Amino acid sequence: MAEIKDPENTLILETTKGQVVIQLLPQVAPEHVARIKELAREKAYDGVVFHRVIDGFMAQTGDVQYGKQGGESFNPGRAGMGGSSKPDLKAEFSATSHIRGTCSMARSQNPNSANSQFFICFADAPWLNKQYSVWGQVIDGMDNVDNIKRGEPVRDPDSIVSARVAADV
C-alpha cells in the first residue's frame, strides 16, 4: 500500500476488485472533500455500485440513494439518478487537471448540483477541466479501478465494499 502521509485526508475504498487509496485534496475543493469524508464516516458509500463505467474514460459511483445494495431505495434501474439527503454543493472548479486516477464529483447540467456521486478517471480527460470539481487522486490501487466491470448501465456491477477515512481505520 502507498505511504499515507495525511490520514485525515486519505480515503481507503475497499471494492469488489480490491483496495483503492485516494489522497484527498482539501486545498483544491474543501467542501467536496468534507462531503466525501462525511458520507464515508456515515458508511453511506458501503455497498454502493459502480453504475456507469466507460472504458478509456471513467468509473462512476456514489449514488447512496438508489445505488446502495441492501439499502431501502436500492434500484439498479435508477442507480445514477440519486444522491444523498444532504444539500447539493456549490461548484469548486479549479486548475487541477483530470488525469488518470483523478477523483471528481459527478453532477447534472447545473454546475452546483454535485451531491454524493463521483467518478475516477481511467485516462486523462482534459475536456472535464474547470467543468467538474476535483477532490482527490488515486495514489494506490489504480490497477483495481482498471478491473471494474464496464457498462452503461453495468450488469452485475462491482461495488464499494467500504469507504473509510484512513484516520479512522
Report, as an integer, the average pLDDT of 79-86. Answer: 96
CA separation for the pair 114, 107 (Å, rounded): 5
Run of H or E including 160 = strand 160-165
Q: What angle do CA 65, 81, 149 make, to 5 degrees?
A: 90
Report, as an integer, the average pLDDT of 23-49. Answer: 98
Specify burial of residue 79 (Cβ count, 10 A radius: 0-12, 13-18, 19+): buried
- The pLDDT of residue 17 is 98
Using pLDDT thresholds of 50, 70 and 90, give the confidence band for residue 87.
very high
The answer, yes or no, to whether residue 96 has pLDDT greater than 90, is yes
Nearest to 66 by CA among 86, 88, 98, 44: 44
The three-state DSSP-derived secondary structure of 35-79 is: HHHHHHHCCCCCCEECCEEECCCEEEECCCCCCECCCCCCCCCCC
pLDDT tens figures, 128-166 = 999 999 999 999 999 999 999 999 999 999 999 999 999
Report, as an integer, the average pLDDT of 27-40. Answer: 98
Report, as an integer, the average pLDDT of 73-94. Answer: 96
Give me the phi and psi of 168, to 5 degrees please.
-95, -5
- The pLDDT of residue 2 is 77
For the chain, give the percent of residues with pLDDT over 90. Answer: 96
Nearest to 145 by CA among 160, 128, 163, 127: 160
Question: Looking at the whole model, is its pTM more than 0.85?
Answer: yes
